[in-house]
Structure 1
């Protein structure tokens, strides 16, 4: 269930994905949580792409081992004709990255040691694009993405530092030029994403500890802004709720571009204000999210440990409902702590519809009480307490509210 990449058959609830050490697997229609999948091809499974005709599929394995089928997965054949960077010794990237687009289903891109490779016949053949080779800096595994807003714009690269730079094409991948590096971070990036409506906007994702995690450009890479709150932090902690963890993908909601989803190594983080602030989405498992894409008005997500998840776009919240501070709650409730994950402090709220004797305690996963945050009689209303956990180890903690006969427990995560 450790998926790196995933795609959906257009018009059908059928999925395909690449898994670490376990090849590429394809589902039957409407698969369940633990059944309905069939093995397709071997190797380490990575990016996949399903053609609009429903019959052609491209799958990848380590070191640019690209294969394709033209009969819906009944048979597969190598798809590396003309591709110069293949194999470990031949310049292939270990985690093979493939870019596809709904606007031109035959157009694909991949990358390797020598540069960017372009196919206009859905991997039947490949041609080398023209890049600024002295600024390429191939190292490890890179990323390539076609703009969701305009297939003429393509982004590709491995790193953003003195050894290499992200490159962009505005002629459908024929030629690439290097963009400027962001000011607050350097090194290899871990993700690359584009905007559904603005072809000049892109997002580069990083995973270095204590440094910015999400940079956005709105001018084809001339300038960059940090959306993760680390660039101007004075204590190494984000100023807007984003965690200090690896980030692998970002999705801008097509119906409301102010809503951003960030796939991290500890789960899903959501911004409802175009990246100004972030919250942990605790309705989704706390698991690494490697890829998110929209197909047929459905978000399809590849997780590294919990399989493939989907949700209809229409079901995605587009804003946080405002809370009337002066209103008296109508029921007892224990709120979700914010931020979560946190380091070293987090705020917990609880609602009381009437005055009540309250006890709010924190336990570790072994059941040991580590803190008592509130104890005594509290008036009706919404109450907030802050927990400082600087002296404790990273991990999952449970917080429990007892208010009269009401008892509720929630989880939170301390990440240092």
Structure 2
């Protein structure tokens, strides 16, 4: 079923404005640790995890299908996955040696395309359908850096020489690759490495943070990295400094993504944090019911869809709420869910509600049997007045209920769809 909604927001301040992300839990069918996610578009995404697990969805996460098969051993922990498209993916795993597997038929069959004795691949990414790069911990005193120009069928390390400094190593998914901007990857040595050419490398100190567990750039100039605290750059990593406001929480970072001035960050804990203003302010976008986040990624097709994967096999899907505009600085003095209008309706109706203070807000629609037919909103909102235009074009005629829930308030109202 497809639903269209527009959220208009009356905010306390017009200086910065975030687009909330509505989160829902999805079913993986697993309890093993999930470590990496790659999102092709709104419908197609791939996930990997421990014990050789690979999952794939072609319907936006409504169903996740296990597609791990020989020669991927169930004893191999997988740490990084990149989906080129809905059918083609690369997944890396490491034990006493590192391995890379490739499928071109949706995971029905896999081929081992790379191995390195004593290696540990931290991340594999493609810049386009043909050109990609892979980063692993140093072997024999040099970083394990590999490139492909044929969609991952073969890999070559010629000219990709970067000597190891001391005993330094990298981190799973602490890697950012964009064809026009270059490559950055994190280490446990108070530095990140950057290259524009993949031949010549520069060292960028992360003073104050020994580890850089995750790294992401929204623009060629602006990026975030960090270990237990975030660092920010506005000059392509020449200098890394603390953002205007610290990220909430204390656990190690596990994932960073975003677009424009908006950032989505996870720690190895249960919360997802959101900043609309390059780290000037932070809020909790979502708190998972169990498990700790290991990685987060957004759709490469747009900025609308997000997935976070967790240590207990949990999957959280986020949908960016588009069409949001601040229209007033009025702050209501109470929580309130108003009657939709028109009512009865066919098929569009407007639902308005007021939030008296910053809150985690859930707005859902239920049928007459109490079954949830849509979660319109599940995110932290600032105090304000909100309006959602809800389309029930794909629902049958009947009586429906919509419920607003916050930590301090629950209210339900009835609406009637007549076609």
TM-score (ref. length: structure 2): 0.52
**Do residues 167 (structure 1) and 146 (structure 2) align?**
yes
Higher relative contact order (CA 8 A, sep 6+): 2
Q: Structure 2: state its 5+ residue gaps.
A: 7-20, 281-419
Change beyond 3 A, Cα 1:69–1:292: same
More strand by percentage: 2
**Do residues 62 (structure 1) and 50 (structure 2) align?**
yes
- Is the Cα contact below 8 Å between 1:100 and 1:145 reproduced in 2? no
Supply the distance in 2 between the matched residues of 1:213 and 1:122 (Cα, whole angstroms): 37
Aligned match of 1:40: 28
**Do residues 107 (structure 1) and 72 (structure 2) align?**
no
**Do residues 268 (structure 1) and 230 (structure 2) align?**
yes
Change beyond 3 A, Cα 1:37–1:183: closer
Q: Deviations for 1:160-187, whole angstroms, at most 9, x for unmatched residues? A: 2407722221222121112212353445
Change beyond 3 A, Cα 1:100–1:303: farther
Alignment of 1:49-88 (within 5 A): 49-54=38-43, 56-82=44-70, 84-88=71-75
Change beyond 3 A, Cα 1:49–1:316: same
Q: Deviations for 1:267-288, whole angstroms, at most 9, x for unmatched residues? A: 2110112222221223422442
Change beyond 3 A, Cα 1:48–1:122: farther
Q: Structure 1: state its 5+ residue gaps.
A: 1-10, 14-28, 229-240, 319-416
**Do residues 196 (structure 1) and 183 (structure 2) align?**
no
Q: In angstroms, what is the RMSD of aligned CA positions?
A: 3.4
- For 2:213, what is the secondary structure of its paired residue? strand
Q: Of 284, 289, 292, which aligns to 2:253?
A: 289
State the 1:111 CA deviation: 1.4
- Is the Cα contact below 8 Å between 1:145 and 1:192 reproduced in 2? no
State the 1:215 CA deviation: 1.0
Change beyond 3 A, Cα 1:243–1:296: closer
- Is the Cα contact below 8 Å between 1:212 and 1:226 reproduced in 2? no
Alignment of 1:324-339 (within 5 A): none
**Do residues 308 (structure 1) and 268 (structure 2) align?**
no
Supply the distance in 2 between the matched residues of 1:39 and 1:285 (Cα, whole angstroms): 28
- For 1:177, what is the secondary structure of its paired residue? coil
**Do residues 252 (structure 1) and 217 (structure 2) align?**
yes
Change beyond 3 A, Cα 1:197–1:49: closer
Change beyond 3 A, Cα 1:59–1:159: same
Change beyond 3 A, Cα 1:175–1:186: farther
Supply the distance in 2 between the matched residues of 1:185 and 1:165 (Cα, whole angstroms): 15
Supply the distance in 2 between the matched residues of 1:118 and 1:12 (Cα, whole angstroms): 39
Aligned match of 1:214: 192
Supply the distance in 1 between the matched residues of 2:125 and 2:101 (Cα, whole angstroms): 13
Supply the distance in 2 between the matched residues of 1:160 and 1:137 (Cα, whole angstroms): 9
- For 1:174, what is the secondary structure of its paired residue? coil
Supply the distance in 1 between the matched residues of 2:107 and 2:264 (Cα, whole angstroms): 23
Supply the distance in 2 between the matched residues of 1:202 and 1:46 (Cα, whole angstroms): 21
Q: Of 110, 126, 133, which aligns to 1:155?
A: 133
Supply the distance in 2 between the matched residues of 1:67 and 1:296 (Cα, whole angstroms): 30
State the 1:46 CA deviation: 1.9
State the 1:115 CA deviation: 2.5
TM-score (ref. length: structure 1): 0.53
Supply the distance in 1 between the matched residues of 2:38 and 2:5 (Cα, whole angstroms): 15
